[in-house]
Amino acid sequence: MLTNADLEKMVETTDEWISERTGIKERRIADADTATSDLAAGAVARACRQAGIPAAELDAIIVATSTPDTVYPATACWVQARLGIAGNAAFDVSAGCSGFLFALELASNLVAAGTARRVAAVGAEVMSKVVNWDDRATCVLFGDGAGAAVCVEGDGRSGVLASTWGCDGSLAPLLYQPAGGTRLPTSLETLERRQHTVHMEGNKVFKHAVRAMSDSASRAMALAGVTMDDVRLLIPHQANTRIMDATRARLNVPTDKVFTVIQKYGNMSAATIPVALDEARDEERIRDGDIVVMTAFGTGFTWGASVIRW
């Protein structure tokens, strides 16, 4: 665990600044020898146990991540191997912090279409390995983690009721990792310039995030034919308490309907929503039949929202 007090010793920052500007108190950091697939495999195994389904019976594993184990193959392939299974489909979705909702949308539609019977959607990140630990504007924000959900054929009572998603690629340079791809391959120069780390114009991202997350949630709720009165819990992507609060205010949602874990984990990008979903269920903030709205925003820029009945 890395606390704000620990960060005070690493960069010029204070617990007060981080707490007030972001709501983060601590975050989890993976060991040096832990990769994204290790966390993701643990999350899939846990979700399968809870669903009462052996991992070997999954028809597909979809991993949402911006911090893959390797450029190729997909992290989902490493996850499959780590789970000791083979033969089922395994691929990644790259949609930044919106990634888990994109993966869930794919998983749910594969099952609804009859293409697959059981699909795991995973959000997993080891952000700590792509953060510039000398840049106080970004290094205090992120944490590592993973969460997963298994979509199965059901009786039509629970599942994804409606979703919306989108992207505006013209805004990509506001939040990205410049080097390591074919645009700017790894070289001594890119390493010296720390171009393999998160580059973000936080202020601009902030404004887009609030609008996109609230608009997406409204649209998905309209598509599902529900209002905020019907909703038990809103789980926004957890990048910043102020972003979540502004989103909540635009949606006219009371504070007690918003579930947050950012104080404990920081921004875990694609892992944030599934981890929050899991904790909300553990704490019995979600029960069978409840309607939950999840909304996210991330690099791309991408955005999306899903309304589910638990």
List the catalytic residues. 97, 237, 267
Return the residue of 23, 99, 145, 298 that touches ligand UT7, per CB under 6 A: 298
Q: What's the min distance (Å) between Cβ of 242 and ligand UT7?
A: 7
Identified binder of ligand UT7 from the candidate list 47, 205, 212, 293, rule CB under 6 A:
205
The answer to whether residue 88 forms part of the interface with ligand UT7 (CB under 6 A) is: no
Task: Based on the shown chain and the rule CB under 6 A, indicate whether residue 177 belongs to the binding site for ligand UT7.
Answer: no
Given the rule CB under 6 A, which of 54-62, 87-95, 103-111, 236-244 is the region that contacts ligand UT7? 236-244
* Pick 208 or 281: Cβ nearer ligand UT7: 208
The site that binds ligand UT7 (CB under 6 A) totals a number of residues, namely 23
Question: Judged by CB under 6 A, which of 91, 176, 206, 310 binds ligand UT7?
Answer: 206
48-56, 132-140, 156-164, 187-195 -> range binding ligand UT7 (CB under 6 A): 132-140
Identify which of residues 41 and 234 has a Cβ nearer to ligand UT7 in the complex.
Answer: 234
Asked if 66 touches ligand UT7 (CB under 6 A), the answer is no
**Strand pairing category for 60-64 and 175-176:** unpaired
- What is the total residue count of the chain? 310
Distance CA(164)–CA(85), nearest Å, equals 32
Instruction: For residue 9, state whether it binds ligand UT7 (rule: CB under 6 A).
Output: no
Taking CB under 6 A as the rule, does residue 243 contact ligand UT7? yes
The stretch among 11-19, 180-188, 191-199, 287-295 that binds ligand UT7 (CB under 6 A) is: 11-19
Among 22, 197, 218, 241, binds ligand UT7 (CB under 6 A): 22
Binding status of residue 4 toward ligand UT7 by CB under 6 A: no
Residues that bind ligand UT7 (CB under 6 A): 13, 17-18, 21-22, 97, 136-137, 140-141, 175, 202-203, 205-206, 209, 239-240, 243, 267, 269, 297-298
